[in-house]
Structure 1
Amino acid sequence: MHLLKRIYGLMIVSILIALTQSSLAESTPKYAPDRRVDIHHLTLDVIPDFEGHTLDGKTRIEFAPIAHPLTELRLNATDLDVFRVWSDARIKDWTLTDTHVVIAFDPPIPANQKKFVALFYRAQPKMGLYFRTAQNGYPAEDTHIYSQGEAHEAQHWYPNYDYPNERFTSEIICRVPQGMTVLSNGKIISETIDNTTGLKSVHWRQDKPHVNYLIALTAGYFKGLTDQYKNIPMGFYTPVSLFDMAKDSFKDTADMMGFFEQETGVPYPWHQYNQAVVWDFVAGGMENTTLTILTHRTLHPEEMEPLESSTGLVAHELAHQWFGDYVTCKDWANLWLNEGFATYYENLYSGHQLGRNQFLYNQYNDAQGLLRRSDPQVPVFYRAYADADEQFDGRAYQKGGWVLHMLRSQLGEDLYRLCIKTYLERHALDTVETADLKAIIEEMSGRSLDRFFDQWIYTGGHPKLNVSYEWSPSTKLAKITVKQTHARAQKDKDILFHVPVSVRFHVAGETVDHDMVIDQAQQDFYVALPDEPNQVRFDPNLTVLADVTFKKPKAMLYAQLADNNDIIGQILAARALQERDDTQTVLKLKEALNKA
């Protein structure tokens, strides 16, 4: 899911972090529930009432008990009016609460014996399924519904097991007025007209297993475009009144698919790929298997490029088809395995499309969004949240993406790609946790990553580094002093960050790179150089998520500002020089701006 970060800016994520700091600290740890049954298949048969904003439905769940006889089956069913339950096992009784339906069996169902339950219900969803009709202010010609499952919204429109540690195949039959389009997961099986009701019945089936929150349905008056990547059909759908902007917003999808296949080494793992725009989607987009649903705000006319662009959002959601759908986090503590990957691969695509400078700039922006906030010390992997939605913040998205960037920087691009390919192939169509990714990288690289994951995933915060430089003319030694000044360094020496990083010196038209490891509260590094450098760049390749303070002489900042081969260096120099108001500095900044 995309948190509108390219639409409303990083402000959204910072607000979420601010809201969660107090609540996270007060909550008890959350773990995935026990799987008492193995769900094989789920079938939905629904009739939406576009005037009444209600839904009549039947849910059929095929399952088998795991390990022990099953006396009762407990399903999520929030605010659903379940009025009939049927099964091929003997039902003793069933009860309905505000949040669950509990079905008791007598005799118990033996372990591994396949059975089904069918539940008939009516819903007037407050969330999970959203109506966009003339009654609530939308154009009548655009009448439609859309679903949103993540994190736990699906239970508001059909009974289910609503947690991501279970995968199953699924199908949806949706009955709507003729002239409407129905989109769902997988492949379309049939489309028929019921002569009695006059409704059109559209049947979709997803025959590859997925988690519950990825079930999707959108139905209404849409117009569409089609395209193809290799043998993968692609469709792009918008409400009728917005159709003219569809082509411009989705034109790069095939190129993205090719890039992600190349970058992951894994072919697109589903039958087809549709994207549907809806009015006022509750987020930026949602990566349901084969059907991404997107906000109408991403649409724009061609003349608005690049001031407005759908590229980041479209790339983010498409990346999820590998990271989040094909391989899915087991629980919400491991959410970064979905959102961190999608955020990072969105940025990688920007580099593929627009060049490395754009990739670095996006990484820099993500880092600044994280570093500007007061550090809550809440780790990426975190169980003590009050509500799963609290996990969808900068820790999972931007920091998760930066963790992958640091791994890629340390491993090298080729080895990193091999690790990720192995991770995807080994855990294909399965759920994962952080330890799974760590184990594969350790296996493939030979590295011990305990410290890396401890400091970046299981512990909160980031390094704050104070860097200084001195030159000794007599010895021709450059001295770099680095101090770790973050709160953790002051409180406990044992949890100082371990930071491999490089320093780059520009000397007489040449560059000299020196690698170092920062692991103490204060360290001095000496580098022999042929002459005094005119530039010194700490972490020139932007490989470490750190809040760095590095005060330099004005002449060195001028040289850095003029270096067109180093966009991040130029940005850092401009930021440092903006505090000065002398005439020479103003002229240098103006000159750099004119050349940009």
Structure 2
Amino acid sequence: MKIQKILLFLFVMLATVSFSQNSNTYRPERDKVHDLVHTKLKVDFNFSEKQLNGEAWVTAKPHFYASNTFTLDAKSMIIHQVSINNKKLPYNYDDFQLLIELPKEYKRDEEFTIYIKYTARPEKVKQQGSLAITDAKGLYFINADGADKNKPTQIWTQGETEASSCWFPTIDSPNQKTTQEIYITVPDKFKTLSNGKLVNQTKTGTNRTDYWKLDQKHAPYLFFMGIGEYEIIKDSYKNIPIDYYVEKEYAPYAKDIFGLTPEMMGFFSTLLGVDYPWNKYSQIVGRDYVSGAMENTTAVIHGEKAYQKPGQLIDKNVQENTIAHELFHHWFGNLVTSESWSNLTLNESFANYSEYLWREHKYGKLDADMHLFEDVEAYMNGQNFDKHLVRFNYDDKEDMFDLVSYNKGGAILHMLRNYLGDKAFFEGLKTYLTEFQYKSTEAHQLRLIFEKIIGKDLNWFFNQWYFGAGHPKIEISYDYNTIQKKVTVNIIQLQAATFKFPFAIDIFEDGKRTRHTVFVDGKDASFTFPYIKQPTLIQVNADGVVLCEINENKVLSDYMFQLKNAENFAHRKEALLEVVKKQDDKDAFKAVVDAMNDPSYKIRILALENVDLINKFSKKDAIQKIMKIANSDKKTLVQAAAIETLGKLTDPVLKSVFVKELESKSYAVLGKALVAVYYVDKPLAIAKSKELPDEVRQILAAPLTRIFIEEQDESELPFIAKNVLSGMFLTGDDATKVIFQKAFKQISESNNSEAIQNLVDDMVVKGNQFKSFNFDKVVINLMRTMINDQKNKETKNRARNTEIIKEAMAKLL
């Protein structure tokens, strides 16, 4: 399961909410009373009632002790029949579990097959979702009645954590493994997708039955069905079919979005020394999906964010990391599965780290380090420092899907790789995957594999990083002995627990950098190094590997040198953020301008966003440089940042630069250019904004909202209303949030019924997505009241509509 950057941002926004891991209840692996062996399903659908008609044949056996009863998870179903060998069996059902009385006592490894005829009713399911997976009813009917002409009818499933049992009876636990086959009957116009291979298709009248089969064992939460009117774009890796299920509009761009999948599959297979273990790989995009993406075995589902047009892809494929993440799960999570949600790190931390591995391979170490830094930064901002990576006393299993299991876990794997070395690290992963394939594991088994390979104890590492909480908070000081020409680096840990870790220290002396790697094993550690000429800078945690917070005293000259010479992206960014505060200094201003040439495009963007061009030294030269960047930087996102920076000058002399970029293929550049033009030629910007195709206007909602709100263009309020909620909550830019808050206010004060209706519709659609912002049923009900009010569009209702929106706004903001 991939938490999208959107959802990571939600965690950061909700940092003030307390997520306690101090439950008194120990959360172990679920007892294995029986082992699943095979699951056979036959299903069809009642679209009008949003129900599934199902038959299940569940083959199982006692795990060890003989048993004459059999319990299956089955949530909110109607059970019509339970039998074995055509003989009905007595059972008890409490809406959550189905307790079946077997006809005899079955001994260990003695298999039996239970037949169950049932109706799944996902709309009756009572269990709740989480921040990462915002709903948990297992089976989802999208626009089931076809009433929304702008949305296709689809069905898709979401099994993690324990929601597969909302649509078929099973032992819904990650420590179970089963093979499967499923017959899916649908109207012939629909395509279907499930796990494994499509064996055959049989038409009956206007319906068709697709038979899918997976002969390898996997966990029940990884079962999947996807149904809809899709185009299937075919690809492959060696002899493995790779398919992309997309709506017709996006078929021409499917390979632009997903086309790196074969290369990823080859890279991961080679890196891990274990070939991709399944017989096919498909990716499907689902409307109104409840999370970022999900690693269902051979049948990954992505949310609508995956859909991108060329003008977006030229800037950045926002789904690329997610594509790598879900694919890597097919080794870590699907082939070898965490035995319990307490051990979720064995799934999600590895998938998180795969994003680093892929970016390092495809784009180089600098790009990968930028990605790792942002993940660590999100964890640090999340304030989840009291949580263990492996935790057995969580309040709810859904709480495990957080920035600790994902981001911190990925950073811990990076530290482990650094400590062991690549050869040992990847040999360990290969051994782990080979030894435990098609099984479930706990974190200690991973540790034991590595210990066996390197011949060293790793309890110290796992105890502090896997079974402990927090991270080092370090204070650094330096003592120089100018007579002996030695410098001592003092390292004091300020947090309660004491961490042990290797630590890279760079000493810059006379234009040269020397790296020293030391091992910190106490609260107070000191390391002394000789020098010939007094060092210009000492950089601790120089490789950026150790997950820690560092406090040290540096002056402006230190930061300027660090900005220019530090190897690691995190240190150059840290330095730039300090240098931009001192731009009244001529050298500091020059350092910011020079940073626009940094190898990291994110440093270049940061320099452009923060350069102070008001009455500064060499302002003309700086502007000339930014104009060149706007026209020629190899990254369109940097070009866009340059346009935005120039736009702040509101100088008509720059109009030609902005107008030229109105023809850019990049939507990021186009959006910034529109805003820049607006402040030097309003009629041109407004005309251009209104003539853009609807699909482009939707993508450029943020800059267009800025223009239309400042113009107080009421005719555009219906357009703005469709995007205002996403703008307020799903952008990381505070200035953009403010614009959308102003837009919300204008809508509330207007008498534009279409705008209010669009806001209502968007509110209802995004109800699940925004649960994390207390976007609860109260607010949704307020919005639904507005729908009814809009049936009477007389002016007398204006005041009531305004008050309802204001009440909702107060809850939302």
What RMSD in Å do the two structures reach over aligned CA positions? Answer: 1.9
Aligned residues between the structures: 584
Q: Report what 2:232 is aligned to.
A: 224
Are residues 1:267 and 2:275 paired?
Answer: yes
Residue 39 in structure 1 maps to residue 41 in structure 2 = no
User: Does the 8 Å contact 2:382/2:403 carry over to 1?
Assistant: no
SS of structure 2 residue aligned to 1:372: helix
2:59 aligned partner: 62
The answer on whether the counterparts of 2:297 and 2:330 sit within 8 Å (CA) in structure 1 is: yes
**SS at structure 2 position matched to 1:541:** coil
Kept after mapping to 1: 8 A contact 2:36/2:177: yes
Equivalent residues in 2 for 1:529-568 (5 A)? 529-563=531-565, 565-568=567-570
Q: TM-score, normalised to structure 1's length?
A: 0.94
Q: Deviations over 1:546-583 (max 9, x none)?
A: 01123223222212211375433311211333443532
Matched, 1:121 2:118: yes
Are residues 1:249 and 2:249 paired? Answer: no
* CA-CA distance at 1:73 after TM superposition: 0.7
Structure (1 or 2) with the larger CA radius of gyration: 2
In the alignment, what sits opposite 2:438? 429
1:485 to 1:565, Cα distance in 2 relative to 1, 3 A: closer
For 1:380-459, list aligned pairs within 5 A.
380-459=389-468
SS at structure 1 position matched to 2:428? helix
Structure 1 position 519, deviation (Å): 2.5
Q: Given the alignment, which residue of 569, 574, 592 partners 1:589?
A: 592
SS in 2 for 1:25: coil
Question: How far off is 1:434 after superposition?
Answer: 0.2
In 2, the alpha carbon distance for the partners of 1:480 and 1:513 equals 13
**Is 1:180 aligned with 2:190?**
yes
Cα distance in 1, alignment partners of residues 317 and 453 from structure 2: 41
Q: Larger deviation: 76-85 or 567-576?
A: 567-576
Residue pair 1:36, 1:65 contacting (<8 A) in 2 also: yes
Moved more, 438-447 or 568-577: 568-577
Question: What's 1:169 paired with?
Answer: 179
2:236 counterpart SS class: strand
Q: Deviations over 1:26-52 (max 9, x none)?
A: 351111222122211001110012333
> In the superposition, relative to structure 1, how do residues 466 and 575 fare at CA in structure 2: closer, same or farther (>3 Å)?
farther
After superposition, the Cα gap between the structure-2 partners of 1:110 and 1:140, relative to the gap in structure 1 and judged at 3 Å, is: farther
Give, as a single letter, the amino acid of the residue that structure 2 aligns with 1:590. Answer: V
Aligned-pair CA distance for 1:16: 6.9
Secondary structure in 2 aligned to 1:367? helix
Say if 1:142 and 1:240, in contact at 8 Å, map to a contact too.
Answer: no
Partner of 1:96: 93
Q: C-alpha distance in 2, partners of 1:158/1:52? A: 17
What amino acid maps onto 2:2 in structure 1?
H
Structure 1 vs Structure 2: percent identity of aligned residues? 28
2:70 alignment partner, one of 64, 68, 73: 73
Separation in structure 1 between the aligned mates of residue 389 and residue 148 of structure 2, nearest angstrom: 39
- The within-5 A match list for 1:235-314 is 235-305=243-313, 306-314=315-323
Distance change >3 Å, CA 207–CA 517, structure 1 → 2: same
Q: CA deviation at 1:522?
A: 2.3
Letter in 2 for 1:72: T
2:516 is aligned with 1:507:
no
Name stretches of at least 5 consecutive residues in structure 2 with no aligned partner.
Answer: 124-136, 599-603, 605-813
Aligned to 1:213: 221
**Stretch moving more, 449-458 or 579-588:** 579-588
- Greater share of strand: 1
Answer 1 or 2: higher relative contact order, Cα 8 Å, separation at least 6: 1
Residue in structure 1 matching 2:165, options 152, 155, 178: 155
Cα drift, residue 374 of structure 1 = 2.9
Shift, 1:261, TM fit: 1.1
Determine the C-alpha separation between the residues in 1 that align with 2:224 and 2:30.
Answer: 23
User: Is the CA contact (8 Å cut-off) linking 1:187 and 1:206 kept in structure 2?
Assistant: yes
Superimposed CA distance per residue, residues 137-175 of structure 1 (whole angstroms, 9 cap, x where no aligned partner): 654772110001000111111111100111110111100
Greater percentage in helix: 2
Q: Please, which of 361, 365, 370 is the counterpart of residue 361 of structure 1?
A: 370
Q: For 2:4, give the aligned amino acid.
A: L
Deviations 1:414-451 (A, max 9, x none): 11111111111111111111011000000001121111
| Higher mean displacement: 330-339 or 395-404 | 395-404
Is this contact kept in 1: 2:42–2:54, CA < 8 A? yes
Q: CA deviation at 1:513?
A: 1.5
Match of 1:492 in 2: none
* Alignment match, 1:29: 26
What residue in structure 1 maps to residue 8 of structure 2?
A: 10
**Counterpart AA for 1:3:** I
Amino acid at match of 2:555: P
Residue 135 and residue 368 in structure 1: after superposition, are their counterparts in 2 closer, same or farther (change >3 A)? Answer: same
Please say if 1:463 is aligned against 2:461.
no
Verify: 1:146 aligned to 2:156, yes or no.
Answer: yes
Where do 4+ consecutive residues of structure 1 move more than 6 Å? none
Cα offset, 1:543, TM superposition? 1.4
Query: Whole-Å Cα distance in 2 between the matches of residues 16 and 81 of structure 1?
Result: 38
Contact 2:75 2:165 (8 Å CA) reproduced = yes
Assess if the C-alpha contact under 8 Å between 1:270 and 1:290 holds in 2.
yes
- Which structure 1 residue ranges, 5 or more long, are not aligned? 489-494
Q: 1:20 to 1:104 in 2, by over 3 A?
A: farther
Give the stretch that moved more between structures: 168-177 or 510-519.
Answer: 510-519
